[in-house]
Amino acid sequence: MTARSRATLIGIGALAALAGCRPGSNDPPSGSGGRAGAADAGAGSGGARGGGGGGGPPFGVGGAGGTRDAGAEVAGTGGAGVDAGARALPGLGRCVLPPAASDAALRAAYARWTTDLVTSDGANGFQRVRRPNSGNPFNSSNSEGIAYGMILAVYLGDQGLFDNLWKYEQRWTQTNGLMNWEINPQGTAPSGTGAATDGDEDMAFALVMADRTWGGRGSLADTYLNYARRQIDLIWSLEVDHNLGDVLAPGDQFGGGSIVNISYFAPAYYRIFGQVSGKPADWDKVVESSYRVLQATLNAASGNASNGLIPAWSTPAGVPMAPPGKPTHHQLDSCRTPFRIAQDFCWFNEPRARAYLEKISGFYAGIGATRLVDGYALTGAPMPNTGLALAAFVGPAGVGAMATPAFTRLRDDAYASVASLSASSLGDSLYYNESWTVLSLLMLTGHLIAP
């Protein structure tokens, strides 16, 4: 078995343990492609599943026995500056976990998230993620939140919630198959039309993971894998601008990718989408365009060449430019970029990812995790009237710092901050900051692994 296969097996086994379940009794031998057992999450969720499975890494995941922690030891791996015996996120990049990382903190954060944000009210007989004090209007749902919920549900073994969120999403698709980006609280009409690419790609990734975790279809009308493939194809055809170097557009109604949101770029996903769709060469083009644009946004003219502070919106050539009413400074969209880029380094050892993470982690570390504000000019000056140490900023900063041994204090302090579940970290959006608390803890505890 390769080191990559062994790391993935360890991660999936621990994920099953975290969800309060065991792998299925028909697990294949080491090196075979089985699925991890999933907990019975309630009505429509089904029981544990074992055996089956597909081919080799990254998708042929074996049903290994559960362990307390998902982090594999990296002793003997040769990672520069990595302590022997340190726990790492399973993957090729050997991203090291905070020593204090605890599954109990993850469970507590998920319990708070489900209590505060998941509702059946206005969900058309299903479930949705609501935004109690943000959105237009309050208590509405958006595709981004449904996608975050699907990722959390599949990694925490909550199949019933996963299926209900996807059924809600399917209730609100446009004629082209992609979800309208915002739905009113009553569940009677879209309050924002058109698709948002970040939500669409997070859903596609979650569907791939659902296939690898549970297989089959659960309580859905079709299989997780078929839904994933259709979603991936829709993103390719409607949300990738093939006339501008295959850059990721912000949505299906933005007129292409002449203005982009860099925090939507998820190159680790695109590698996976290529494998699942059978079109790796196509999706490699989106990987390349993502790094090309990311690098272009860091330049002397913007004063951010060395600090990693990408603008919220930009042209593909790296000129800060936004749709009407949107910002261009580094803010509560931009702060997601270290998280998405860290996934590509941690899972696939992409050197361009690490190069970017060294820049942004250096800037964040110079300030300190608990002193980060939620807005910076691209030059590094803090913006006025900003929140302090919000989870959506601090959590992804900690995830990005997992890639580089020089920034262990940033990583550890960020983990301690989000794991504390402090009310002060939630700012003006309970939904956004609670979601990023749990997503960040999934990475920081070693459970958010590649399928």
C-alpha to C-alpha distances, 40 to 36, 66, 225, 367, nearest whole angstrom: 13, 16, 20, 44
Report the CATH number at residue 284.
Answer: 1.50.10.10
Count of H-run helices and E-run strands, the chain:
13, 9
Q: What is the mean pLDDT of residues 407-430?
A: 97
Is it the case that residue 41 has pLDDT exceeding 90?
no
d(CA 69, CA 14): 6
**341 in any annotated domain:** yes
The one-letter code for the residue type at 183 is I
**307 in any annotated domain:** yes
> Would you state the pLDDT for residue 436?
98
Is it the case that residue 378 has pLDDT exceeding 80?
yes
Q: What is the mean pLDDT of residues 175-183?
A: 98
What's the pLDDT tens digit per position in 81-131? 445 468 999 999 999 999 999 999 999 999 999 999 999 999 999 999 999
Q: Which of these is catalytic: 69, 144, 169, 201?
A: 144
**383 in any annotated domain:** yes
Q: What is the mean pLDDT of residues 327-335?
A: 98
Overall domain count for the chain? 1
- Rounded to 10 degrees, what is the CA torsion of 400, 406, 410, 413? 120
Element containing residue 231 per DSSP (H, E): helix 224-238
Confidence of residue 265 (pLDDT cuts 50, 70, 90): very high
**451 in any annotated domain:** no
Average pLDDT, the chain: 86
**53 in any annotated domain:** no
> Would you state the pLDDT for residue 71?
60
Q: What is the mean pLDDT of residues 423-427?
A: 96
**18 in any annotated domain:** no
> Would you state the pLDDT for residue 86?
84
Higher pLDDT, 272 or 51: 272
**C-alpha angle with apex 89: 85 to 91, nearest 5 degrees?**
110
Q: Which of these is catalytic: 27, 158, 163, 198?
A: 198
**367 in any annotated domain:** yes
Q: Are 150 and 207 in contact (CB under 8 A)?
A: yes
User: 144 catalytic, yes or no?
Assistant: yes
Both tokens assigned to 189: 């009409």
User: 182 catalytic, yes or no?
Assistant: no
**21 in any annotated domain:** no
Share of the chain above pLDDT 70, in %: 81
Containing structural domain, residue 178: 69-444
Task: Report CA Rg, the chain.
Answer: 20
Q: Give the list of residues 6+ apart from residue 266 with CB closer than 8 angstroms, or none.
A: 198, 201, 202, 205, 290, 340, 343, 344
> Would you state the pLDDT for residue 271?
98
Can you give the pTM of this predicted structure? 0.86
d(CA 357, CA 341): 7
Is it the case that residue 35 has pLDDT exceeding 60?
no
What's the pLDDT tens digit per position in 340-372? 999 999 999 999 999 999 999 999 999 999 999
